[in-house]
Amino acid sequence: MWRLLRPDAEAVLHDKKARKSLGRYFDVMQNAKPAKFQLAKKLPAEFSETDSTEKLWKLHDELTGAYYELEKHVDSRLKLFSELETPRKSFLDLKIEIARRIMENCHLCARRCGVNRWKGELGFCGCGVQITVSSFFAHMGEEPELVPSGTIFTLGCTMRCLHCQNWTISQWMEAGELYTPKQLARVIERLRSEGCRNVNLVGGEPTPWLQQWLETFSHVNVNVPVVWNSNSYYSEETAKLLAGFADVYLLDFKYGEGTCAERISAAPKYWENCTRNHLYAGKHGELIIRVLVLPEHLECCTKPILKWIAQNLGENTRTNVMFQYRPEWRAHEIPELRRRLTQSEMEKAVEYARRAGLKNFIT
Ligand code: SF4
| CB of residue 103 inside a 6 A radius of ligand 1 | no
Check residue 109 and report its DSSP letter.
B
In degrees, rounded to 5, the angle at the alpha carbon of residue 274 between the alpha carbons of residues 99 and 75 is 65
Q: Which residue lies with its CA nearest to atom 6 of ligand 1?
A: 109
- Strand-strand pairing, 149-154 and 132-139: antiparallel
Distance CA 119, CA 131 (A): 16
Q: Which residue lies with its CA nearest to atom 2 of ligand 1?
A: 125
- Ligand 1 atom index nearest CA of 115: 3
Model pLDDT, residue 3: 66
Q: Tell me the residue type at 56.
A: L
Residue 250, pLDDT > 70, answer: yes
Model pLDDT, residue 6: 85
Residue 77, pLDDT > 90, answer: yes
Q: How many CA atoms lie within 13 A of 225 on its CB side?
A: 31
Residue 229, pLDDT > 90, answer: yes
Residues of the chain above pLDDT 90, percent: 96
| CB of residue 123 inside a 6 A radius of ligand 1 | yes
* Superfamily per CATH, domain 2-362: Aldolase class I (3.20.20.70)
Residue 4, pLDDT > 80, answer: no
How far apart are the two ends of the chain, measured CA to CA in Å?
24
| CB of residue 249 inside a 6 A radius of ligand 1 | no
Q: How far is ligand 1, taken at its centre, from the CA of residue 314, in Å? A: 31
Residues of the chain above pLDDT 70, percent: 99
DSSP 72-106: HHHHTTSS-GGGPPPPSSBHHHHHHHHHHHHGGG-
Distance CA 40, CA 26 (A): 19
16-36, pLDDT tens digit by residue? 989 989 999 999 999 999 999
- Ligand 1 atom index nearest CA of 124: 7
Beta bridge partners of 155: none
Evaluate whether 208 touches 155 at the Cβ level (below 8 Å).
no
Predicted confidence band of residue 121 (pLDDT cuts 50, 70, 90): very high
Residue partners of 133: CB distance under 8 A and separation at least 6: 152, 153, 154, 155, 176, 177, 178, 179, 184
The domain spans of the chain are 2-362
Model pLDDT, residue 5: 72
179-222, pLDDT tens digit by residue? 999 999 999 999 999 999 999 999 999 999 999 999 999 999 99
| CB of residue 106 inside a 6 A radius of ligand 1 | yes
| CB of residue 231 inside a 6 A radius of ligand 1 | no
Residue 51, pLDDT > 90, answer: yes
Model pLDDT, residue 228: 98
- Ligand 1 atom index nearest CA of 207: 1
In degrees, rounded to 5, the angle at the alpha carbon of residue 356 between the alpha carbons of residues 354 and 360 is 60
122-153, pLDDT tens digit by residue? 999 999 999 999 999 999 999 999 999 999 99
Model pLDDT, residue 1: 59
Residue 96, pLDDT > 70, answer: yes
317-346, pLDDT tens digit by residue? 999 999 999 999 999 999 999 999 999 999
